[in-house]
């Protein structure tokens, strides 16, 4: 049987990583999925100069810091290109199923 999570976050940009951090810190089991490397659009920029706590930080460096924070309370990170979500709410006992092109555990 496929592993089930309380929360599956689609996209490991700043928004998704913050979501994974808060959900896992609330003792929920969390899977954070991204179809690329974590960081989202941060990976496309060199210097970020408007993030509180940093006078200037490289996008990929801030992405790594956010990733470390997002996973520190047990959130798992995996590659996954989400193609759709099958809502099984009408069955009551079954959680939604994610449709992925492929999924590979990175660590």
Ligand X SMILES: Cc1cc2nc3c(=O)[nH]c(=O)nc-3n(C[C@H](O)[C@H](O)[C@H](O)COP(=O)(O)OP(=O)(O)OC[C@H]3O[C@@H](n4cnc5c(N)ncnc54)[C@H](O)[C@@H]3O)c2cc1C
Closest residue to ligand X using C-beta atoms: 13
Site of interaction with ligand X (CB under 6 A):
10-16, 33-36, 40-42, 44-45, 48, 50, 80-82
CB of 93 to ligand X, least distance (A): 26
Half-sphere exposure of 10 (CA within 13 A, CB side): 9
User: Alpha-carbon distance 65 to 27, whole Å?
Assistant: 21
**DSSP three-state, residue 12:** coil
- Least distance in Å: CB of 40 to ligand X? 2
Q: Give the nearer residue to ligand X in terms of CB position, either 93 or 107.
A: 107
CB of 61 to ligand X, least distance (A): 13
- Report in angstroms the alpha-carbon separations of 25 from 28, 71, 78: 7, 9, 19
Q: Which is nearer to ligand X, 55 or 93 (CB)?
A: 55
- Quick check: helix, strand or coil at residue 24? helix
């Amino acid at each position: 049987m496929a592993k089930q999570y309380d929360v599956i976050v689609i996209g490991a940009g700043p928004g998704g990583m913050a979501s994974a951090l808060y959900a896992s810190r609330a003792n929920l089991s969390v899977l954070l999925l991204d179809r690329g490397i974590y960081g989202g659009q941060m990976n496309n920029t060199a210097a970020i100069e408007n993030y509180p706590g940093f006078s200037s930080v490289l996008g990929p460096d801030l992405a790594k810091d956010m990733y470390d924070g997002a996973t520190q309370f047990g959130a798992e990170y995996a590659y996954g290109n989400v193609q759709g979500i099958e809502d099984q709410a009408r069955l009551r006992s079954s959680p939604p199923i994610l449709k992925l092109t492929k999924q590979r555990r990175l660590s």
